[in-house]
Amino acid sequence: MRNTIRFFILIATCFSFSLSMSAQEVVDDPILFQELKDVKITDEFWLPKLKQWSTTTANDVLDKFEAKHIKNSEEALRENVFVNFDDVAKGKTNTGHHAGLPWFDGLVYESIRGISDLLLLYPDKELEKRIDGYIDRIYAAQQVDPDGYINTYTQLVEPTHRWGDNGGMLRFQHDVYNAGVLVEAGVHYYKATGKTRLLEIATRFANYMCTLMGPAPKRNIIPAHSGPEEALIKLYWLYKNDPSIKQKLPFKIDEHKYYDLAIFWIENRGNNSKYPLWLSWGNEKAEQWIKDVKYKEAPFGKNSRPSWGDYAQDSISVFNQTSIEGHAVRATLLGTAITTAALENRSSKYINTARLLWDNMDGRKMFITGGVGAIHHDEKFGPDYYLPTDAYLETCAAVGVGFLANA
């Protein structure tokens, strides 16, 4: 299901922009994007598919979240992903049950983001009404927490491990990732409909993260699954380009904080305790080291955190990487974030890094089919020119390549 949703989102986004500056060039002219509302698809191949996605596929994805494919009513209720939000809204916590994996909140938000783009191209009042109903349930769940935090898996299953605290496993829980794609959904749904409720939810959560995360004395937290970086830059652009939107929300907005947090997330990779040693210790021993909260011991300092490893592009600074490494989806979405940031800051450091990661992937690690991520274990990139006939090549990773190509 995750592959289907991500492919659906990629195709729903029907425009692209290429980074064409030379490595040392700094351009002062504004970068202009083609607005999605101005894109018209008329060819005989894509037009029928887009119309099918905007009706059949969109509703089918939402039906699956509601577990409508499950005939037993009790089981269907138990596996209905939106009930997670209802349970949180009712104040439930530590129930031990969560419909779907920890990233299913994110899949809901990603689906709303993709459907938003389709609604912009092909308005559908019934589909929009359906999305509004889900947004109301997400809003109700967020109201329970005074900070605006919402991650239903953590709240229902591991409430003492928010943001991976106290021995939690952030790279599994997806707290920051889910928050980021919520932000992106809020931006896209506002652009599609002009409605502010999801944008309000997203901005409130972004404000909370900005107060919590960043350089000391703030918390040393980064997304263990990349993606939120680009989302925060999109939120920054939304308010920067149209400050009047800020008057529609019931709290103060300083859009520069969103950009600053995205940059912190990119630049703070590798700034950790340097342990556990995932590759030499193995996942089981490394995870136990984190569960035992060893990273909080005296030698590592008060604001230390675990390394999430090459898997999550967190062993060294991304600007010191000489190749694209780790989990292929995380790696390509980090490349997308770096490229997106480069569109704003025009930094040669960012441009060079984006080019290096792309060139290494495209020239040495991509299969003739366009697939990436040769190794099944950790769903990751292999070494240069490792192109086995039984390669993993996850669809999600191909979608990540699509986002990176469009950044």
Chain segment 322-379, per-residue pLDDT in tens? 999 999 999 999 999 999 999 999 999 999 999 999 999 999 999 999 999 999 999 9
Q: Is the pLDDT of residue 121 over 60?
A: yes
Q: Is the pLDDT of residue 20 over 50?
A: no
Q: Is the pLDDT of residue 13 over 70?
A: no
In a domain, 323, yes or no: no
Chain segment 127-175, per-residue pLDDT in tens? 999 999 999 999 999 999 999 999 999 999 999 999 999 999 999 999 9
Write down the mean pLDDT value for the chain: 93
Q: Is the pLDDT of residue 302 over 50?
A: yes
pLDDT at 36: 85
Q: Is 53 exposed, middle or buried (0-12, 13-18, 19+ CB in 10 A)?
A: buried
In a domain, 331, yes or no: no
In a domain, 181, yes or no: yes
In a domain, 96, yes or no: yes
Residue 97 near residue 158, CB atoms below 8 Å: no
pLDDT at 16: 34
In a domain, 182, yes or no: yes
Q: Say how many C-beta atoms besides its own lie within 10 A of residue 363's C-beta.
A: 10
The number of angstroms, rounded, from the C-alpha of 248 to the middle of its chain's C-alpha atoms is 25
Mean pLDDT on 253-276: 97
Q: At what angle do helices 228-241 and 175-193 cross, to 10 degrees?
A: 30
> What band does 2 get if pLDDT is binned at 50, 70 and 90?
low
Count up the domains in the chain and report the number.
1
Cis peptide before 215 (omega within 30 of 0): no
Q: Global pTM?
A: 0.92
> What band does 37 get if pLDDT is binned at 50, 70 and 90?
confident
Residue 119 near residue 18, CB atoms below 8 Å: no
Residue 185 near residue 112, CB atoms below 8 Å: yes
In a domain, 382, yes or no: no
In a domain, 302, yes or no: no
Mean pLDDT on 63-73: 97
**Domain of 217, in residue numbers:** 41-268
Beta strands in 279-344 (DSSP E): none
d(CA 239, CA 235): 7
In a domain, 310, yes or no: no
d(CA 6, CA 90): 30
High-pLDDT (> 70) share of the chain, %: 92
What are the Cα distances from residue 184, in Å, to 21, 194, 307? 26, 15, 26
Nearest CA among 112, 120, 116 for reference residue 39:
120
> What band does 8 get if pLDDT is binned at 50, 70 and 90?
low
d(CA 338, CA 352): 10
Nearest CA among 384, 180, 326 for reference residue 265:
180
pLDDT at 97: 98
Cis peptide before 217 (omega within 30 of 0): yes
The number of angstroms, rounded, from the C-alpha of 297 to the middle of its chain's C-alpha atoms is 31
Mean pLDDT on 305-329: 97
pLDDT at 23: 37
High-pLDDT (> 90) share of the chain, %: 87
